[in-house]
Structure 1
């Protein structure tokens, strides 16, 4: 057990909650891309069976395993042919943005459930074990989805933030971005997998999750101490 815990990024006893939350977060994120692309004129994702909430259509085994081990991972990217979209640049921005926004929505739902239980006392009669399980699940539902919201907006390929910047850029700048995209992927991998680089880039960026989570709780009249 100690050996397995050393391999994992998260506490071993929380692994079931992590797996459920990540499966939900990745599935909803990729479904949002696929559904919006289909609605705006590109049926590529639908033709590949990606307009579905079935996690098996979206989860990447290696990407899911890595997030458990390294705190970083990915799902299967949804194929989008932007030239098929109505108003390709505008709709391209929307298709890219709905993925991260879907994660933010899941975090809001998690906070809403927290508020529901706090104000109604529905869990007051539950056992300590049940109460703790619900608390842990909601904490991960909120925190991981906020992190995914932030992470996917980083303007480096292959993340959604890069696609948004690409679609916002004028044609000449877009050509330059495409030319250097392969280097962007390399920079992205260096930032993720080299601890010193990660410490000065991703770690401060992920620090934004604290005020976001605090703000979400305040919307529902709740205060929370985010660690």
Structure 2
């Protein structure tokens, strides 16, 4: 892959990635705010501005390093990263603590699935436009569908600090919930190990494939 192809791919994929992570984090903050926690709003994180959700390490440095290493070693672009997590203070929640945590955690992946749905529906309108304009926009929307599905499924893995881990903690009875919550301090190293050993891919790809088939079929295009 030459540099012109890399730039072309960045143009196609960047909008989907930016909107996926921005609205994912915004949804967490919005739901927490609805349950009585204004932390994200007070810190300026309840925003649709992508800049406030960018983390220097996870959003920029790590994906750039992984992209460079993967291109140099295997000749294919591979990258992993994320946005700066929206701050949530559970002490501010009104009502049932576990119910609030469940909805706050699920809001991010739920938003990604909604965005994928909107992109699939938008493709129908885009394909009615002149081909020179419709083709690149349709590619961007398809890339956005893929990124939103990937982000939703990946984040629903039942391992803290991922959203799925917090959903699991909210649903598990005591003391299993406390045991899983204590795993959060080891969650990131475990997650990185599972990613690089290919275990994560084996777990999440069947769900990703099924959802992509659904969305692309809804869009009327081939994935």
Q: Residue deviations 1:78-99, cap 9 Å, x none?
A: 1112232122110110010010
Q: How big is the shift at 1:18? A: 1.9
> In the alignment, which residue of structure 2 is the partner of 1:99?
108
Q: Measure, in 1, the Cα distance between the counterparts of 2:180 and 2:26.
A: 27
Q: Residue deviations 1:41-82, cap 9 Å, x none?
A: 111111111111011111223322334624211100111122
Cα RMSD over matched residues?
2.2
Q: Measure, in 2, the Cα distance between the counterparts of 1:108 and 1:179.
A: 35
Q: Measure, in 2, the Cα distance between the counterparts of 1:166 and 1:215.
A: 29
Q: Residue deviations 1:92-112, cap 9 Å, x none?
A: 100100100101111101100
Q: 1:109 to 1:67 in 2, by over 3 A?
A: farther
> In the alignment, which residue of structure 1 is the partner of 2:17?
22
Of the three residues 55, 61, 85, the one matched with 2:93 is: 85
Q: Measure, in 2, the Cα distance between the counterparts of 1:178 and 1:213.
A: 31
> In the alignment, which residue of structure 2 is the partner of 1:71?
79
For the 8 Å contact 1:157–1:188, the answer to whether it is kept is no
Matched, 1:115 2:115: no
> In the alignment, which residue of structure 1 is the partner of 2:72?
none
Q: How big is the shift at 1:185? A: 2.4
Structure 2 length-normalised TM: 0.84
Q: 1:64 to 1:181 in 2, by over 3 A?
A: closer
Matched residues, number: 209
Q: How big is the shift at 1:127? A: 4.7
Q: Which structure 1 residue ranges, 5 or more long, are not aligned?
A: none
Q: Measure, in 2, the Cα distance between the counterparts of 1:189 and 1:170.
A: 28
> In the alignment, which residue of structure 2 is the partner of 1:211?
210
> In the alignment, which residue of structure 1 is the partner of 2:70?
none
Matched, 1:142 2:145: yes
Q: Measure, in 2, the Cα distance between the counterparts of 1:151 and 1:35.
A: 21
Q: 1:67 to 1:112 in 2, by over 3 A?
A: farther
> In the alignment, which residue of structure 2 is the partner of 1:225?
222
Q: 1:72 to 1:203 in 2, by over 3 A?
A: farther
> In the alignment, which residue of structure 1 is the partner of 2:201?
202
Q: 1:217 to 1:16 in 2, by over 3 A?
A: closer
Q: Which has the higher contact order (CA 8 A, sep 6+)?
A: 2
> In the alignment, which residue of structure 2 is the partner of 1:50?
45
